[in-house]
Each structure stands twice: as C-alpha cells, then as structure tokens.
Amino acid sequence: MLRGEYEYALDDKGRVVIPTRFRRVLGDQVVAARGLDPCVSIYSPEGWARVEEELVQLSTGKRDIVRVILASAVDLELDRQGRVTLPARLRQYAGIDRDVVVVGLIRRVEIWNRSAWAAYIERAQKAALQIAEQVEGLRL
C-alpha cells in the first residue's frame, strides 16, 4: 500500500527519487500521466492496467478526460538510485520545477510542486468539516 508524503528536489535532468517503500510496491517500471489535479500520477503497470479498464468503460461524453489522461501516459523506468525522469511536458503541466512532494495514495503516487501541495493541503484542512460530511460512515 502506498501512503505518506516525502519532500525531494528534482535534479538538473528532471529526475526525482521515488521513496524506497513506494518502489517496493511499484516496481522498477512505472506509468506516469497527468493527474486530475495539477500533479503527475505514477502507477505500477498493473495499477495502470486497471485505470485503462476504467477509462475504456466511460461513455463517449467523457472522452475529453480519457484523451487528457491517455495522451499524457508514458512508460518510465527507475534507475539504480530509485529515481525516475519526469518528462518535460508532465513537469510543465504540474508546475514542477525544483521542489516536489511525493505522495502515496493507496494505489498510485502523485508528484506535486511543493508549494502547490501546501496550498492544496491548506484548502483541504479549511474544508475539513465539509469533507467529513461527504465521507459519512468512514471510520478514521
């Protein structure tokens, strides 16, 4: 299971470290794509196959989101140091330049610009009561 958040910096080649505990789940090959939020989503090949299965079942009225996600998908390999090179177009989409947060979200990893992640968390915490009402019955 993927969980937690880790802060890193991209190197000059656009590489970011994937935490060791995430690498154990993801493996040495991953699929990266645009996230629904301004981030890069990283999946194991098996996890990505599940995403594709869900996308193919969407109605044609939702084809825009299918295109946005699938057009951005790219197979990547982690190097010996556990780094992955994020393609420039995905870094641009997510506003990633140097400082990042790598976030584990059960079945996927998201890579965020550090300041964008901080702003997102601040907004989410302010809306905590409203969010809690939306997940009624969830036992935390």
The one-digit pLDDT tens for each residue of the chain (140 residues) are: 899 999 999 999 999 999 999 999 999 999 999 999 999 999 999 999 999 999 989 888 888 888 999 999 999 999 999 999 999 999 999 999 999 999 999 999 999 999 999 999 999 888 887 777 776 665 55
CATH number reported for the structural domain that contains residue 94 in this entry: 3.40.1550.20
Virtual CA dihedral for 114, 119, 41, 20, nearest 10 degrees? Answer: 50
Domain that holds residue 25: 2-114
Q: Which residues contact 26 (CB under 8 A, 6 or more apart)?
A: 2, 18, 42, 43, 44, 78, 109
Tally of domains within the chain? 1
Q: Which residues contact 6 (CB under 8 A, 6 or more apart)?
A: 17, 19, 101, 102, 103
Q: What is the pLDDT of residue 132?
A: 72
Q: 28 lies in a domain?
A: yes
